A = this chain, B = another copy of it.
Amino acid sequence: MNAPADPHFATRIRESFGRQKAMAFIGAKLTSVEPGATEITLAYREDLTQQKGFVHGGIIGMIADTACGYAAFSLMPADCSLVTVEYKINILAPARSSLVARGEVVKAGRTLTVTRAEVYAEDGKHIATMQQTLMMLPGTPDTPE
């Protein structure tokens, strides 16, 4: 059902993730790439925290957004790029540990793909849940213009 259109999807995604300077900046790692699902891991760092010392909600959103995006991208043809249309995230608990965001495809449409991510703390606590919409841009490179 979630068959990738491009057999080299994992390589393509790892290269794309490698171009995401924002992911390197916060120290996020792409730790799993499967058809329709990816995982991003983030080590706890003080410089990612908000005023009470917890990981900033926007940082949690960043890794969930990215995990969802690459889950969608894994099923798309090699010659396209994609954009995030929108995402909605519920923060379920504060986090002061490393995090893992698991993104997966809910529905892969021709133009739009709907995805979901769950974010967990090191101890397994459920930190956040995201629902996201992405749009495929056919025939556009996934690189800077």
Binding site for B on A (CB under 8 A): 16-17, 19-25, 46-53, 56-59, 61-63, 65-66, 81, 83-94, 106-107, 109, 111-112, 114, 116, 126, 129, 131, 133, 135, 142-145
Please indicate the chain B residues that have their CB under 8 angstroms from the CB of A131 in the complex.
88, 90, 129, 131
Give min CB distance, A44 to chain B, whole Å: 12
**How many copies of this chain?**
4
Closest to A87 in B: B89
CA distance A6 to B117 in the complex (A): 31
Please indicate the chain B residues that have their CB under 8 angstroms from the CB of A86 in the complex.
86, 88-91, 114, 133
CA distance A143 to B49 in the complex (A): 12
CA distance A76 to B131 in the complex (A): 25
Please indicate the chain B residues that have their CB under 8 angstroms from the CB of A46 in the complex.
21
Q: Which of B48, B57, B89 makes the CB contact (< 8 A) with A25?
A: B48
Give min CB distance, A102 to chain B, whole Å: 14
Q: From A23, A57, A81, name the one whose CB has the most chain B CB atoms within 10 angstroms.
A: A57
Contact call A17/B51, Cβ cutoff below 8 A: yes
Contact call B52/A145, Cβ cutoff below 8 A: yes
Instruction: Please name 6 further chain A to chain B contacts, defined as beta carbons within 8 Å, in addition to the given A58-B59, A93-B107, sorted by A numbering.
Output: A16-B51, A19-B50, A20-B50, A20-B56, A58-B58, A88-B88
